[in-house]
Amino acid sequence: MISADGRFVLFLSSANNLVTNDASGPFIDVFLRNRTNGTTTLASVNLTGTGGGNGNSIFPSASADGRYVAFESEANNLVLNDNNNVSDVFVRDLLTGTTALVSVNSAGSGGNGASTSPVISADGRYVAFVSAASDLVGNDTNGVSDVFVRDLRTGTTALVSVSAGGATSGNGSSDSPAMTPDGRWIAFASKATNLVPGVTNNQGEIYARDLSSGTTIWVSTNTLSIMLGVNSQNHPITSYNPAISEDGKYVAFKSIGAAQLILRHNLQTGATDLATTNAIGNTVGFDDSSGPDMTPDGRFIAYSAQTAPGPLPYSAIYLWDAQTGTNILISANLGGQVSSNAFSDTPALSADGKYVAFASDAPDLVTNAVDGSYQVYVRDLVKGT
C-alpha cells in the first residue's frame, strides 16, 4: 500500500538484504519505505531488534504519517505477551521503536483464537481487525470470527459485529473490515442475521458501524431488488469486499447471485448505485477476491471483471465514474483492447483517481512486458498510458 501523499510505501518481502537488522530466515516480513529520505524500516521486528519475526507477517496498514504500522503475524517473538501460537495483530511504533499486541484479551495476553486483517486509522489510534478469539471482550459468545476495534489510547477493545440489541455478538461470522481515516465508521461483511432488523440472508451482507452513535447500518439492503432487476432468477446472494469513502458517506462492495454486481451505497440517503453488472454480460462475473477500490471521495471505483465465460476466469480491470456513470477499460493492451487469455486483478486507486495500479500477467500491456509473468502496472488516466 502507498500513503495518500505518496511518501510511504508498505510492502512485504522475504528478502534479508533490505535492512541491516533482518536475518530471520525465509519468513515474510513487513517493511516501510520512506520515499522522501530513501530509508527502509523493518516493522515486523523481533524483541531484540536483531531480525524479523519467527513467522510470516502480512496484511500491513499504516497511519497517515507513517509512524504506526499495524500488521498480522504468525511470529511469537515480537512481544513478550504473545503465547497463543496463532496469528495475532500487532502495531509497531517506528518513532519509539516499540511493538504492541493489539489482539489482546482481558488478561493482557494473546486471545484464544487467530486474529487477522488489521486496518489502522490515520492518526494511529484505532485498529480494526478480525478475530476468532472469544476472550477479547465479554459479549462475544458466537464461537466464530468477529470484527473488533482496539483503541490504543485507552487500551480498550470493542465488538463491532454486535447484535442489534448490543448484548451479544452476531449469530454468524464477520470479516473484511474497512475503516474511515478518523476511525468513526467501520464497514464489514457478515453472515449474521441479527445485526439489524429484517435480515434473513446468512450468505453474506455488508454493514457499516458508526462507533460514535453505536448504530449499525445495513449497507447491502437494496442488493436483492437490484439483482432481480438484472436477472430475475432466484439465487442466493453473497455480498463481500466493502470499501468505504473517507467521509463515511459511501460504501462500495461486490455481490454475487444470479448476476454479479459492483455496488455503491450512500449511507446518508440509503440509495444504492449499480456501477456495473460485469464486463460483458450476466453469464460471467468477478473472478478474484480483490477490490473494489474506491477513491476517498467515493467518485471512482476500480474493479476486476471476468472477460469471457469458460473454465479459466480471465479478467481485466475497469474503472467506474459515479459522476458520468461510465465504465472504462484500465488494463488495456497496446491496441486499446482487452488482453486475451490474461489475468488482471488487485486494482488500487490514487486518491485523485488519476492513477490505477494493478497486477497482470498480460504480455501486451507494455512493449517490455515479461510474457507469462505477473507484473505490477500503473495506468495514467490523464495521459492515457
Helix (H) or strand (E) holding 127: strand 126-131
Task: Tell me the C-alpha distance between 42 and 52, whole Å.
Answer: 7
Task: Tell me the C-alpha distance between 308 and 143, whole Å.
Answer: 40
- Of 361 and 133, more confident: 133
Task: Tell me the C-alpha distance between 23 and 355, whole Å.
Answer: 36
Other beta carbons within 10 angstroms of residue 54's beta carbon come to 15
pTM confidence score: 0.92
Q: How confident is the model over 224-248, as pLDDT tens digits?
A: 999 989 888 888 899 999 999 999 9
Residue 259 has pLDDT above 50, yes or no: yes
Residue 258's pLDDT is 80
Q: How confident is the model over 83-131, as pLDDT tens digits?
A: 999 999 999 999 999 999 999 998 999 999 999 999 999 999 999 999 9
Average of per-residue pLDDT values in the chain: 91
Instruction: Catalogue all structural domains in the chain, each as residue range(s) with its CATH number.
Output: 283-385 (2.120.10.30)
- Of 94 and 339, more confident: 94
Other beta carbons within 10 angstroms of residue 1's beta carbon come to 10
352, with CB counted inside 10 A (0-12, 13-18, 19+), is middle
Q: What's the CA dihedral at 23, 29, 30, 34 to 10 degrees?
A: 40
